[in-house]
């Protein structure tokens, strides 16, 4: 508002022109005095001057008012323009600030997410590693228990398995001898060949096998000493296709059931030794 001209200092151009004309008129009329004019003329002149002065004053007031209003409007428009520009600048600043804040928030969120992700990942890896170690320890314990249980089952089952194996072997041998009766003679020949003695050799066989063995007497005599005498005797104590050979120097029990019993006994002995060895290793 510094450009606003005060009303007392402003004089419109038209008023100045009128004042100049008045001065000029007075200059030309100045040689004449009031005494030279009639009184009526003097009164009319004063009235005109008063009217002119009043009009000039009113015009000055009107022009000053118009000028002041125009200045106020201009100042108001300028203020509104400045206010609009300020609002635009504030809005632009606010948008920029909000974008920066959003970027900052996103960056903080991203950083926090990454930190949380890495921390969570590390925790999961540690928990998983601990779980794996726990499971491995448990698996090792279970495996060790399984081996011990296996040994226990085997040890408990070995006598049964030996009995079963011997029973199966006995049936297999009986079946084979039924299919190949001549194999009975071969078994007796193998037993006689171990008794290379002189004197009487008593060959005791099952009564059911006596006739069959007696028919093979000559073949059996070939495997004993030429100075020995072979006697074939039925013996109720022999229940299978085996035999018992008796002489003055002792006897040979070649019965199949006896041989299987010896095999069974030996297997059980080996089983007990294995068990004792396992217990001894476990204590160490």
CA atoms within 13 A on the CB side of 227: 4
Tokens of 279: 């217990």
The whole-number pLDDT of residue 204 equals: 93
Cα dihedral 76, 82, 86, 89, rounded to 10, equals 150
Query: What is the DSSP code (8-state) at residue 239?
Result: -
Span 236-244, mean pLDDT?
Answer: 85
Of 240, 238, 256, the closest CA to residue 190 belongs to: 256
pTM, full prediction = 0.40
* Residue-wise pLDDT tens digits, 5-25: 444 444 455 555 555 544 444
The highest-level CATH class for domain 180-283 is alpha beta
More reliable by pLDDT, 274 or 141? 141
Helix (H) or strand (E) holding 278, with range, is: helix 256-283
Residues of the chain with CATH 3.30.2320.30: 180-283
pLDDT winner (highest mean) among 161-165, 206-210, 263-267: 206-210
The whole-number pLDDT of residue 2 equals: 45
Helix (H) or strand (E) holding 163, with range, is: helix 39-179
Alpha-carbon distance of 280 to 215, in angstroms, equals: 56
Cα dihedral 268, 271, 273, 274, rounded to 10, equals 180
Average pLDDT of the chain is 77
* Residue-wise pLDDT tens digits, 94-120: 888 888 877 777 777 777 777 777 888
More reliable by pLDDT, 32 or 64? 64
Alpha-carbon distance of 243 to 94, in angstroms, equals: 119
* Residue-wise pLDDT tens digits, 129-160: 898 998 889 888 888 888 788 777 767 766 77
Query: Do the bridges between strand 199-205 and strand 243-247 make them parallel or antiparallel, or are there none, so unpaired?
Result: antiparallel
The whole-number pLDDT of residue 118 equals: 82
């Amino acid at each position: 508002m510094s450009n606003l001209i005060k009303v007392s200092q402003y004089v419109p151009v038209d008023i100045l022109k009128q004042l100049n004309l008045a001065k000029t008129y007075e200059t030309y009329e100045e040689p004449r005095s009031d005494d030279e004019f009639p009184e009526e003329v003097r009164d009319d002149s004063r009235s005109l001057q008063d009217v002119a002065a009043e009009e000039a004053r009113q015009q000055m007031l009107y022009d000053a008012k118009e000028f002041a209003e125009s200045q106020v409007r201009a100042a108001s428009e300028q203020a509104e323009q400045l206010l609009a520009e300020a609002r635009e600048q504030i809005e632009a600043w606010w948008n920029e600030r909000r974008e920066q804040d959003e970027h900052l928030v996103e960056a903080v969120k991203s950083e926090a997410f990454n930190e949380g992700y890495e921390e969570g990942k590390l925790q999961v890896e540690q928990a998983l590693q601990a779980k794996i170690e726990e499971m491995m320890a448990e698996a090792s314990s279970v495996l060790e228990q399984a081996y011990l249980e296996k040994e226990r089952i085997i040890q408990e089952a070995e006598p049964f398995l030996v009995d079963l194996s011997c029973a199966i072997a006995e049936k297999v041998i009986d079946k084979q001898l039924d299919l190949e009766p001549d194999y009975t003679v071969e078994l007796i020949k193998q037993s006689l060949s171990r008794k290379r003695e002189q004197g009487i050799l008593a060959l005791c066989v099952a009564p059911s096998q006596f006739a069959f063995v007696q028919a093979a007497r000559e073949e059996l005599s070939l495997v004993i000493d030429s100075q020995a005498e072979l006697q074939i005797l039925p013996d109720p104590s022999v229940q299978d296709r085996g035999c018992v050979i008796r002489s003055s120097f002792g006897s040979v029990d070649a019965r199949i059931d006896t041989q299987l019993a010896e095999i069974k006994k030996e297997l059980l002995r080996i089983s007990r030794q294995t068990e004792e060895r396992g217990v001894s290793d476990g204590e160490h």
